[in-house]
Amino acid sequence: MGQANEEKRRKTEMNIRFVKNEAGANLQQLMEYAARLTGIGDDFWEGHILNGVHYSILSNHTEIGYFTLCGNEKITSFYMLASCLKLGQTIFRQILNDFCVKTAFVATCDELFLSLCMDNHKSIEMQAYFFEHSGVNVRPPEWGRELMRPAAMEDVKDILDTEYVEENIRAGRYYVMRENGVFLGQGFFHPDNLTPTQASIGMSVHPDHRCKGVGRSIIMHLMEISREKMFTPICGCWYYNHNSKRTLESAGFVSKTRLLNIHFTEDATHE
């Protein structure tokens, strides 16, 4: 009780306030945030940061940290200056209370944020794997790169996704693989915003052509394309998508980092 009162007293003395950044994300600030991590994140992870609502943590009008809320009830980033970390637990709990935060998306390579989430968690749900290439040589792709090309608008009818398809085609993010005009699958190439040297790559295979090496081949060709464009290729997949995990591993990718969905309330709906 004495320690809690002391923390509350210090917080009051420092006049802590949470101020919404009406201009949106501070990209440079968030790029520095990503650079501090000990591992990688993918486009799914960074999307929940960039598309969230951004707040500054102020002490007597001076910014000492920041955080991001996505969908009002999920916190997706948290940072504080090292000189103010003694207040980290108190301020984090205040954010959870003031904003009625129910869950967090936190990567296991984000030490401070992960530790604060663990201090307050009720349950933990495994969300995703983040993959990077091992550098180990693997067998060649089963399907040649000559079968892949950037997607065009006439490919819309075959693309297996349902959202932002035309937008992503115009942005050059989709590739398609066809043999004699038959659609085998698609690749996704997305240069990351928070780590500009990285590109997130992924694939989807038409149900008629699964278990034939198509997905593996698409990933290997996208890895080559990424490197030609001077990007480091990285991947991610849902934690329980065992087939995708095996495909990425067979293409030479390994995962050291997980994305966790941490719940702060007993009744938080699992996603």
Q: How far apart are CA 107 and CA 128, in angstroms?
A: 9
pLDDT in tens, 215-244: 999 999 999 999 999 999 999 999 999 999
Q: Is pLDDT above 60 for 3?
A: no
Mean pLDDT of 237-265: 97
Per-residue pLDDT at 53: 96
In the predicted structure, residue 8 carries a pLDDT above the cut 60: no
Confidence of residue 4 (pLDDT cuts 50, 70, 90): low
Considering the chain, what percentage of its residues have pLDDT values greater than 90? 89
pLDDT of 13 strictly over 70: no
- Model confidence at 178: pLDDT above 60: yes
Q: What is the pLDDT of residue 10?
A: 54
For helices 88-98 and 111-120, what crossing angle results, to 10°?
Answer: 60
Are 193 and 46 in contact, with CB atoms under 8 Å apart? yes
Reported as a single tens digit per residue, the pLDDT across 98-107 is 999 999 999 9
Residue showing tokens 């780590």 = 195
CA distance 231 to 114: 28
Q: What is the pLDDT of residue 111?
A: 98
For residue 15, the model assigns a pLDDT of: 87
Secondary structure class of 263 (helix, strand, coil): strand
**pLDDT > 80? residue 7:** no
Average pLDDT rounded to a whole number, residues 242-266: 97
pLDDT at 207 over 60: yes
Mean pLDDT lowest for which of 24-33, 110-119, 121-130, 217-226? 24-33
Backbone angles phi, psi at 217, to 5 degrees: -65, -40
What confidence category does residue 16 fall into, taking pLDDT thresholds of 50, 70 and 90?
very high
In angstroms, the CA 5 to CA 69 distance is 27
Higher pLDDT, 169 or 23: 169
pLDDT at 108: 98
